[in-house]
Amino acid sequence: MNSFGEKFRVQIYGESHGLGVGIIIDGIPPGIPIHVADFEHDLSRRRSGHMGTTTRVESDVPEFMSGIFKHFSTGAPINIFFRNSDVRSQDYEDTKLLPRPGHADFVAHRKFLGYNDYRGGGHFSGRLTAAIVGAGNVAKKLLHPIKIEANLSEIGGHKNFEDILALTIQKNDSIGGLVNCQVLGIPIGWGEPFFNSIESMISHLVFSIPAVKGIEFGSGFGAAKMFGSEHNDEIISMDGTTRTNYSGGINGGISNGNTISFNVSIKPTSSISKPQSTIDLKTGNINSLEIKGRHDVCIALRAPVVIEAMTAIALADLKLGYEI
């Protein structure tokens, strides 16, 4: 479905080339200060217009449709809307019948019997992450003083971003990246064993971000190559501080008082201008597709703040559950 959460519940809506995208947030206590200006820092980090990103640039000024009065939350559901203005729907006429390899075009057509909005990927577009960043901004207010910081650590396995981006652009291709996210100041005891472990809550939402293909906490897959004597984090303080942090700040699905640390793998953008083969949904023949439109060369460039937002939403849901 298009919603998540029990105590901090979000429901996302909209399409890439429709009127806009938005998110409804339920469970916000009354009296939380919320101003339009509060959203600008995070939204600017997601905004395109620099090297390796799409030339589609939206203003992304949040419009508060409900739940906020005189700059404070009322306790009613908050509806935040982001209007679409810089659209070129004609660029996507080919993808109506020629689904992009690696994109959700084909499965969306099958699942929704051809009624899906194919323009720019419709409801499957990364455009909807603007709404996620909006909800994440509200969630961060509830989590203060806990801090969530995500940064792009690699593009295509390289640390020199400009060189690999320039090469990718020259090749008319796209490229993936790796994002590291850390949660600082989280108390001991958040999360539950098994199904509501803090890893599973965060992972559920992070995997809801378009283009995410993997997540690892602490040493992640590297733990498979270690001895227990290497991997075990020695506890050196009653506050739970450990000498190392191979567990990524989590034991038994529960925060242990150390920084929660995880890496997220972002795949290359599906939309590239190189010719590719795909199925014609009308004839069943294999045809060549050369994708038009404006697309990110590296979607990972704009992903860190979205990952922060999803992490904040997961943690806000946990926090409100413990307070009631």
Round to whole Å and give the CA distance between 276 and 269.
14
Round to whole Å and give the CA distance between 43 and 19.
19
Q: What is the pLDDT of residue 90?
A: 83
Q: What is the pLDDT of residue 322?
A: 86
Q: What's the predicted TM-score (pTM) here?
A: 0.96
Q: What is the pLDDT of residue 249?
A: 98
Q: What is the pLDDT of residue 287?
A: 94
Domain that holds residue 127: 3-323
Instruction: List beta partners, residue 242.
Output: 235
Q: What is the pLDDT of residue 323?
A: 76
Q: What is the pLDDT of residue 94?
A: 83
Provide φ and ψ at 265, rounded to 5°: -95, 125
Q: What is the pLDDT of residue 324?
A: 52
Q: Would you tell me how many other CB atoms lie within 10 Å of the CB of residue 216?
A: 17
DSSP for residue 272: -
Quote the tokens at residue 50.
Answer: 């620099």
Instruction: Answer left, alpha or beta for residue 156, where phi above 0 means left and psi between -120 and 50 means alpha.
Output: left
Round to whole Å and give the CA distance between 300 and 306.
10
CB-based contacts of 100, cutoff 8 Å, min separation 6: 270, 271, 276, 278, 289, 291
Q: Which CATH number do you get for residue 14?
A: 3.60.150.10
Identify the segments of the chain with pLDDT beneath 70: 324
102 and 32 Cβ atoms separated by less than 8 Å: no
Quote the tokens at residue 287.
Answer: 């045809």
Q: What is the pLDDT of residue 117?
A: 92
The structural domain count of the chain equals 1
Closest CA to 266 of 172, 154, 182, 173: 154
Provide φ and ψ at 83, rounded to 5°: -80, 140
14 and 65 Cβ atoms separated by less than 8 Å: no
Residue type, 91: D
Q: What is the pLDDT of residue 305?
A: 98
Closest CA to 78 of 18, 124, 35: 35
Peptide bond into 145 cis (omega under 30): yes
Residue tagged 């201008």 (tokens):
273
239 and 176 Cβ atoms separated by less than 8 Å: no
Quote the tokens at residue 149.
Answer: 């910081």
